[in-house]
Structure 1
Amino acid sequence: MQKEDEGEASWFLGTLVTNRVTGEETDGAYSLTEHLLPPNYEMPYHIHHGEEERFYIIDGELTLHTEDGTLTATPGQTVIIPRDQPHGYRITSDEPTRKLVLLSPAGFEEFFHEAGEPAEARELPEPTEPDIQKLEALAPRYDLELLGPLPSSDE
């Protein structure tokens, strides 16, 4: 059984991402990562062409944006994002949001660590500007398509 402070942890785009189950442990079937995200955090629109994503919200709240509209997910809810579906999200709670992300098949969990940096502590990092060039260079290797910012709240 894994303890809370076990699993490779990285600071990725101002968040803390911890591997809980790796593709190596599941023969590539799936991976499970835990994400701690600060209030007002935004993940831009993107598409995973290689895997399905499932979010399980533990704490906090996020609003998911897809081409079909928006939905708000709160603790205890699961959100399924099929491969090839454009999506992004915004953290809408005043507290940090914690979620589990199941990626099937496995492999994409390595993107968080390759695009990020090893976490010096199991806490949110200081905010920094993202290295867009690094993200764009890594995206094709992980079958990821970056589409741009989320729509504003007015749209």
Structure 2
Amino acid sequence: MKRRNFLLAGAVSIPALAMGKTSGFKKQRLTKGFIVKANESRFNEKTMLSGNSPNDIKVSTKDTDGDLSAFSYTGHVKGGPPLHVHPNQDEMFFILEGKFLFQVGEDQYYLTKGDSIFLPRNVPHTFAQLTDSGQVFFLFQPAGKMEDFFRAAGDIKARLNPKLFDDHDIHVVGPPLKW
């Protein structure tokens, strides 16, 4: 009887494993720190947004088993994304250079060098770079599909449309900021 239960348990678990239902099994976490130099990206992967603005991965989803991702963006173009919602991620920005306008819900904030802002999940938000150049350090917690979104958005053939956003669990709910 015990052998039958053992075989039955194994047979029942095969479909779950085949479908990726392994949420109870965490990957091995990093046990050592690492550095990513200025103007470099984790794993030497470069992502360009708006054609000429580097968005460097500083901490990868792979490093944290999906718990966090962090980026350094150097903007060479004024403007920003449409008003959108991340249903599953909190977001935080730290301004390194330039002037930015953020909208979080109905509130608007002007930020400059040294300022930071927290954007809670499920709250519509957007931002606009107001100066010719700007630089921000920003992160998502948990990481979600943001790395993949930036890779797709950085592809020269990509079209920034609602489907691209939706495919990465970002929901467009309005236009970009006008200033």
TM over 0.5: yes
Amino acid across the alignment from 1:138: L
Larger RCO of the pair (alpha carbons < 8 Å, separation 6+): 1
Unpaired runs of at least 5, structure 1: 119-128
Equivalent runs, 1:6-45 vs 2, <5 Å: 6-7=40-41, 8-14=45-51, 15-45=53-83
Residue 148 (str. 1) matches residue 174 (str. 2): yes
What CA distance in whole angstroms lies between the structure 1 residues aligned with 2:50 and 2:175?
14
Unpaired runs of at least 5, structure 2: 1-34
What CA distance in whole angstroms lies between the structure 2 residues aligned with 1:151 and 1:37?
16
Residue 4 (str. 1) matches residue 32 (str. 2): no
Aligned sequence identity (%): 25
Residue 88 (str. 1) matches residue 126 (str. 2): yes
Tell me the residue number matched to 2:100: 62
Larger-gyration structure (1/2): 2
Q: CA deviation at 1:114?
A: 1.9
- Please give the TM-score of this superposition, normalised by the length of structure 1: 0.80
Q: Which has the higher helix share?
A: 2
Partner SS, residue 42 of structure 1: coil
What CA distance in whole angstroms lies between the structure 1 residues aligned with 2:168 and 2:56?
18
Deviates more, 1:5-14 or 1:75-84: 5-14
1:117-136 per-position Cα deviation (integer Å, ceiling 9, x unaligned): 28xxxxxxxxxx9723xx42
What CA distance in whole angstroms lies between the structure 2 residues aligned with 1:36 and 1:131?
21
Q: Which has the higher strand share?
A: 1
- Please give the TM-score of this superposition, normalised by the length of structure 2: 0.70
Q: CA deviation at 1:9?
A: 1.7
2:142 to 90, 97, 105: 105
